[in-house]
Amino acid sequence: MKKKALVIGISGQDGSYLAQLLLSKNYEVYGTSRDADLSTFSGLKKLGIYDKVKLHSMSLIDFRSVMQTILQIMPDEIYNLAGQSSVGLSFLQPVETLESISIGTLNILEVLRFHKLPTKFYNASSSECFGDTGGKAANEETPFKPRSPYAVAKSTAHWQLANYREAYNLFACSGILFNHESPLRPKRFVTKKIVEAACNIAKGKKEKLTLGNVSIKRDWGWAPEFVEAMYLILQNEKPDDFVIATGTNLSLEQFVQKAFAFFNLDYKNYTSIDNSLLRPSDIYESLGDPLKAEQVLKWKAKYHVDDVIQMMIDNQLKEMTN
């Protein structure tokens, strides 16, 4: 019998790569979107796996919808990657962000508890929960100090899950993932915006790249590699939480500089700062300590930010010539 996996939020970057990974491990993969008939599932299509996944419509904030979907599929593993995923957008849509992430996670936990299901549950937590750690690498013991509505919502979901694991003995885990990028990122994510602009300018298009705070530092990894960690977290003997990161970071300005340097361009000639892109509050420096994942899961990032920039640019140029 094939194992069944339910990927909630399969239309996003991580959901698409996770579906690809699970299919390669001979899982029967089910995926949900709020409206499966209207979603484009462009990530699944780009990876060539759209026809290999069974898709369902499900609203995470509707308990009945969540319960019906889980009971219909009866998955061995659930990966919850859904909810409003943009930190910047969360300042404009704080209610939707909090509901989709915290109530959505609670609904899944309640279904597992109420029906006493043996399903293993992975929850996508976030490095944003740590806030600014003052240059120190955050590990699983670092206190949360959220600095955005998105981070508040993710922190809420994280502690809900920890409570249910302890109170009801659920196999429920959180992966506290630091930034991870890929060609499947939508353009509202700054890394995709930078790569696209650098490629366009290198090809002769006249455009300016406008950015907000370029002094922020982030721990950037490669998304296809990070979803492997999600899978390994649920294969661990006991339910636990793990920080997933590369352990190195870089400023946004350096990221821009490296992307433009790929084409021997000086980024200063093509970029400008737009104060309207500044967030009400931001994290100056973000850095993760993935030692526990390395020791327990035997997971370690092979790709760091220079590799990520190179692979994103290679893919962008390939798409532009197709």
Residues tagged active-site: 126, 128, 150
Contacts of 215 (CB under 8 A, 6+ apart): 251, 252, 253, 284
Nearest-angstrom CA–CA distance, 79 and 18: 9
Nearest-angstrom CA–CA distance, 206 and 213: 23
Contacts of 237 (CB under 8 A, 6+ apart): none
> Looking at residue 130, what DSSP letter applies?
G
Nearest-angstrom CA–CA distance, 240 and 296: 10
For residues 150 and 126, is the Cβ–Cβ distance under 8 A?
Answer: yes
Of 280, 312, 97, nearest to 187 by C-alpha is 312
Of 15, 319, 292, nearest to 141 by C-alpha is 292
For residues 61 and 104, is the Cβ–Cβ distance under 8 A?
Answer: yes
For residues 115 and 71, is the Cβ–Cβ distance under 8 A?
Answer: yes
Nearest-angstrom CA–CA distance, 199 and 49: 27
